[in-house]
Chains A and B, each alone.
Chain A
């Protein structure tokens, strides 16, 4: 099972210390970086460790974590989903629109529509063998177009009625931490278990690792792909709904470039874009790392907020180069 994730463990005796170290770095690199960054921030900025800041950090991370969870599954199958940013925004608008008809509609409408978009992505990728990159690029445009169509070309922002129970979903707290944090945490735990401990999770790995072999073994490759893209759509829609509940309105301009954020945190978390390897925990760490760095840049205050993307880009690069040079032992495809 784990052989898919790491190199064949047939060298138990001859494993050198160096190989062990590179293995640790490769798998735990992001975690080590996160610990270092948090430690630095904790001692340098007194406000970083404050409960308020941590709550804020967790809340900000929760929306991206939900999106990145779906993206992790998609990338492990060897695909990519560029539509998540648009679908996220669409989900928010649909939730805000639906909230006037009650809590259930506010939640069900975005999940259904966004899930349908994901399903269509999956069918196109799995059944017609079109490149995931292009299919989801098209649905990026489509979802954004649909969003504009239902908001009078972006001029109409639906507001969640002030007395709606739906607001509680985004604003309610347990011990100071917002509901979205707990929702994201529960989903990630479930996602991690599904990925590692279920038949479906194994066929996700197999599909991304060696599609031909997976097919020959009789695994439901097409169904697996359709499922992961549908999941990605549903989760992006859910993230949008949570955001709408938190902001109490369906903001039309969010989500531009979110797909890139999601992809970079997944990659930083150690999931290979070539597919076949990755963990949910890594993705969560990737999300944490991204937002802690952003938080630090905000704490410094004098620093131009544009440094955020510079740092993110540089960081992504370092991680990928490290992954690449550490994985040299693996034969190229």
Chain B
């Protein structure tokens, strides 16, 4: 409406906004990298890049799942609690070896995600409330399972996941990268991905067109739960302890922020995996930049708030549907 009344100038503005929405996150990452190269001491070191990537890996894995969920016009608030749940099961089964322990943790995540999906798809409960229940209850359950304790882990193979390298790159970064590629292929190249985007765009029409709306939705939430569990396992391995009280705390906010900053609109119908990965990197870089320039945590949080608002404001301009 307003675009037509504003005539040519308005048209340009809309195009600029669309361009910014599409590529803004990449521009921001490059700009921030350049800034750091020139103005931050010890930025261009291998050790620094390593730290940044290792810190970003769990958020990235969770954000991938969140991107899928947001693509279906949903949201998953329970990811942090699922991380804690998965982590709380690890010490119980680590005696049987690292593989069974990890498998159990992943199954826990899968079950939790499927449960969310069932509530959303089959019972028609709003995603926010459905996953809120698990957010409230999940961490409590994890603490009950762990008897409120932080459990130190000593299994060498398992801890290798947290601080080991493969070809000079940390294992957790490999996993995050691999999962990003898998998710990009899943969204871009498979029927499941197409259906997911279609359902996010118009659920009613997808249903009328004969798409299996419910099973796709359950699948999406299940994947999100599974990815959260992967992140929980990696974070636990890195910490060297299962700490259900603290692990994944506020992860849902970081993941949603990364997805939104990456250019995926909360209205669904679109999943940007590469954008999401860059969203994670951007938020990590922002934090690192602020810390390296000795700005306190308080400023960091307020800057993050501003970035979220700006990103969403820009994304909003595009929605002309």
> Contact: A137 with B253, CB < 8 Å?
yes
Residue in chain B with minimal CB distance to A147: B298
Q: Chain B contacts of A312 at CB under 8 A?
A: 136-137, 140
Within 8 A of A (CB), among B130-177: 130, 132-141, 143-144, 147-148
Residue in chain A with minimal CB distance to B77: A260
Which listed segment binds B: A138-146, A194-202, A206-214?
Answer: A138-146
Q: How far is the CA of A233 from the CA of B131 in the complex (A)?
A: 25
Which listed segment binds B: A27-35, A52-60, A221-229, A318-326?
Answer: A318-326
Nearest-CB distance from B244 to chain A (Å)?
9
> Contact: A309 with B139, CB < 8 Å?
yes
> Contact: A80 with B253, CB < 8 Å?
no
Nearest-CB distance from A308 to chain B (Å)?
7
> Contact: B141 with A142, CB < 8 Å?
no
**B296 interface residue, CB < 8 Å from A?**
yes
Residue in chain A with minimal CB distance to B133: A317
Residue in chain A with minimal CB distance to B267: A131
> Contact: A138 with B308, CB < 8 Å?
yes
Residues 225-268 of chain A, each 1 if its beta carbon lies under 8 Å from chain B, else 0: 00000000000000000000000000000000000100110010
Residue from B260, B306, B312, B313 having most chain A Cβ neighbours under 10 A:
B312
Of the candidates A138, A139, A314, which one forms a contact with B137 in the assembled complex, judged by CB atoms under 8 Å apart? A314
Q: Chain A contacts of B296 at CB under 8 A?
A: 148-149, 153
Q: Chain A contacts of B253 at CB under 8 A?
A: 137, 140-141
Q: Chain A contacts of B140 at CB under 8 A?
A: 306-310, 312-313
Q: How far is the CA of A138 from the CA of B304 in the complex (A)?
A: 8
> Contact: A273 with B138, CB < 8 Å?
no
Q: How far is the CA of A304 from the CA of B256 in the complex (A)?
A: 32
B-side interface size class: 35 or more
Which listed segment binds A: B35-43, B120-128, B192-200?
Answer: B120-128
Nearest-CB distance from B203 to chain A (Å)?
10
**B309 interface residue, CB < 8 Å from A?**
yes
Q: Chain B contacts of A146 at CB under 8 A?
A: 298, 302
Q: How far is the CA of A320 from the CA of B126 in the complex (A)?
A: 9
**B75 interface residue, CB < 8 Å from A?**
yes
> Contact: B136 with A139, CB < 8 Å?
no
Residues 308-321 of chain B, each 1 if its beta carbon lies under 8 Å from chain A, else 0: 11001100100000
Q: Chain A contacts of B139 at CB under 8 A?
A: 309
Q: Chain B contacts of A313 at CB under 8 A?
A: 133-138, 140-141
Within 8 A of B (CB), among A133-168: 133-135, 137-142, 144-149, 153
> Contact: A273 with B299, CB < 8 Å?
no
Residue in chain B with minimal CB distance to A327: B124
Within 8 A of B (CB), among A46-86: 80
> Contact: A273 with B302, CB < 8 Å?
no
Residue in chain B with minimal CB distance to A135: B309
Of the candidates A139, A273, A304, which one forms a contact with B129 in the assembled complex, judged by CB atoms under 8 Å apart? A273
Identify whether the interface residues of A are mostly helix, strand, loop, or mixed. helix
**A274 interface residue, CB < 8 Å from B?**
yes
Q: Chain B contacts of A307 at CB under 8 A?
A: 140, 144
> Contact: A320 with B312, CB < 8 Å?
no
Residue from B136, B297, B313 having most chain A Cβ neighbours under 10 A:
B136
> Contact: B136 with A131, CB < 8 Å?
no
Of the candidates A137, A304, A317, which one forms a contact with B308 in the assembled complex, judged by CB atoms under 8 Å apart? A137
Q: How far is the CA of A121 from the CA of B51 in the complex (A)?
A: 35
> Contact: A316 with B136, CB < 8 Å?
yes
**A18 interface residue, CB < 8 Å from B?**
no
Q: How far is the CA of A239 from the CA of B257 in the complex (A)?
A: 28
> Contact: B305 with A139, CB < 8 Å?
yes
Of the candidates A80, A263, A321, which one forms a contact with B125 in the assembled complex, judged by CB atoms under 8 Å apart? A321
**B64 interface residue, CB < 8 Å from A?**
no
> Contact: A260 with B132, CB < 8 Å?
yes
**B300 interface residue, CB < 8 Å from A?**
yes
> Contact: A145 with B132, CB < 8 Å?
no
**B266 interface residue, CB < 8 Å from A?**
yes
Q: How far is the CA of A264 from the CA of B316 in the complex (A)?
A: 29
Residue from B128, B129, B257 having most chain A Cβ neighbours under 10 A:
B129
**A124 interface residue, CB < 8 Å from B?**
yes
Q: Chain B contacts of A311 at CB under 8 A?
A: 137
Q: Chain A contacts of B257 at CB under 8 A?
A: 137
Nearest-CB distance from A281 to chain B (Å)?
20
Nearest-CB distance from A33 to chain B (Å)?
16
> Contact: B133 with A316, CB < 8 Å?
yes
- The contact sample of 8 A-B pairs, CB cut-off 8 A, is A131-B266, A134-B256, A139-B305, A145-B300, A148-B298, A149-B302, A307-B140, A313-B133
Kindly list 13 other residue pairs between chains A and B, CB separation below 8 angstroms, not including A138-B309, A260-B132. A128-B313, A133-B75, A141-B301, A142-B301, A153-B298, A267-B129, A306-B148, A309-B140, A310-B140, A313-B133, A313-B141, A314-B137, A321-B123
Name A's B-contacting residues (CB within 8 A).
80, 124, 128-131, 133-135, 137-142, 144-149, 153, 260, 263-264, 267, 273-274, 304, 306-314, 316-317, 320-321, 324-325, 332
8 pairs of A and B residues whose beta carbons are closest in the complex: A313-B137, A309-B140, A145-B301, A148-B298, A149-B298, A145-B302, A142-B305, A306-B143
